[in-house]
Structure 1
Amino acid sequence: MGRTADAIAEGVAIATAAARLVVKNHILVGTIAEGGVFDTDEYIADAREALRAMAEESEQAEKMLTELRKRARGRHSDSSGTHDYRDRDVRNLKRRAKQSHGVATRLRETMENPEALRVIVEEAREGAWADVRHNLDRRLRVEGMRPDQDPDYERMREARMQALRLVDLQALSSQQRARRKLKKKQKAAEQEA
């Protein structure tokens, strides 16, 4: 029973981490990309949905393993591949189905526990903030670095100059042309009016 309980606990931990990652990504998209406001209740619904999807996945695995176990029972020949189970695999398939069932059950219990959902959302919020903080810190270090502090300055200088010529100056030129074209249209419209 210890192995089954450990496997269930591990499966729940993995599923919870995956749910936290889903919620973290929703927080980043919702608050940064879409300019929204952090609302715990909105993200609790996201956490519940992520856990539901993983519980359904575990339930499907349980059904598949049960079906494989039924087919394997009474077959004593050599298997022809990795998923060609035989009678000697029945006990293992039964244990794996039981583990999948346990994971699904625990995930469904967590879905109904508001406090557990809040913990997932709070940990996801902390993870999202850590990502933002890390990106800002890295960006400030790179953009605020002086040439004498950058050990790769000389080596990367030519690449930066080429990027400046091919990307930045081309974009600037394109913007200037668009502005001139817009001003010309506005001037023509004013003269017609």
Structure 2
Amino acid sequence: PLPQQLNDKTAVTEQCDKINFRHRNAQFAGRASAELHTFLYFNKNGPCIADAVITRVRPAATTANVKQHRQHHSAGSLQVVVPRFGIDGVCKLENCDDDDDDDDDSSTGGEWKCNEDKMIAVNDKLGITLAVFDHIQVRIMADSTDFRFKTVMTLLEKSKANEIDTYEEAEANRKKVDKEMCPDRISRDDNVA
């Protein structure tokens, strides 16, 4: 027979709501902890250039930001995974209204067009087409502007074949970095006696 407290539907519903609430908050805490440790790692070690894999292409509404006397419009973003560090993030694609080509960042020349249905981003001026599972080079750096601690990824260029890490290299680097990035993390290997 069922215990008396499990026969009451409202009590069971309340208990489930409490469990769901705690689980959701634990997920938020875990994500925030991972973001904080990632920020602290890149804040300590400085900016880094790494290979990333595109997992999603997202178009965005046009927003104007004035940066260094140039007008930029967000054309969308790329959701990426960086296997070397075991992290994921967003690379914003910036359109530049200015025709000056003296900017070293290859991702800002011309206009980016994102197609969410085909999952591609195209820049005709640069002759670049980025699609899901393409490898790109990103600059990863810690940004503490306005006391909003976050890790920023910037698109540099499409990766060349010799710049792409093999799975074994990426996994070895990730394990090495993981110990430094999250020193207090308990791993499964630690629990095996």
Which has the higher relative contact order, 1 or 2, with Cα contacts under 8 A spaced 6 or more apart?
1
Normalising to structure 2: TM-score of the pair? 0.22
Give the helix-richer structure, 1 or 2: 1
